[in-house]
Amino acid sequence: MKQTGKLDYLEMPAVHGKLDSVKAFYSAAFGWSFTDYGPTYSAFGEGLDGGFQADVSEAAAKPLPILYSQALEETLQAVTGAGGTIVKPIFSFPGGRRFHFLDPAGNELAVWGE
């Protein structure tokens, strides 16, 4: 069961046309399988759900931990109230809505809800 504030998803970059090679690597090394959502995104469900994003710049290429929230607006208020910095306000994507924030150490995370 999904719970507010728990790690739910991990997006990782696959820049400069490396999506196919990244998928081949994880398939060969660990037996992972993938579901493609267009030419630039491929999802996996291997213990922790996640996906590889191919349309990111090399400068922005770092993993993105994604937390879940049952009440996205309330969680956004909790994040800002605790000192987090919103870097992408709530936006819609296929499957739900989410926002991105920086924690006090400068790590970027996202929170999503249905």
The identity of residue 11, as a single letter, is E
Which residues fall within 8 angstroms of residue 18, CB to CB, at 6 or more apart? Answer: 54
| 3-state DSSP assignment of residue 7 | strand
Q: Are 49 and 37 in contact (CB under 8 A)?
A: no
pLDDT of residue 6: 95
83 residue type, one letter: G
Query: How many alpha carbons fall within 13 Å on the CB side of residue 90?
Result: 14
Confidence of residue 107 (pLDDT cuts 50, 70, 90): very high
Section 80-106 average pLDDT: 96
Cβ-count burial of 105 within 10 angstroms (0-12 exposed, 13-18 middle, 19+ buried)?
exposed
Q: pTM value?
A: 0.87
Query: Alpha helix (H) ranges present in the chain?
Result: 19-30, 72-81
**Mean pLDDT estimate for the chain:** 93
pLDDT of 52 reads 95
Give whole-number Cα distances, 22 to 4, 27, 34, 49, 77, in Å. 30, 9, 11, 16, 36
Chain centroid to CA 52: how far? 9
pLDDT, tens only, 10-42 = 999 998 778 999 999 999 999 999 999 999 999
pLDDT of residue 16: 72
Report the pLDDT value the prediction gives residue 20, as an integer from 0 to 100: 94
- pLDDT at residue 58 tops 80: no
Does 64 or 1 have the greater pLDDT score?
A: 64
Residue 46 binned pLDDT confidence (cut-offs 50, 70, 90): very high
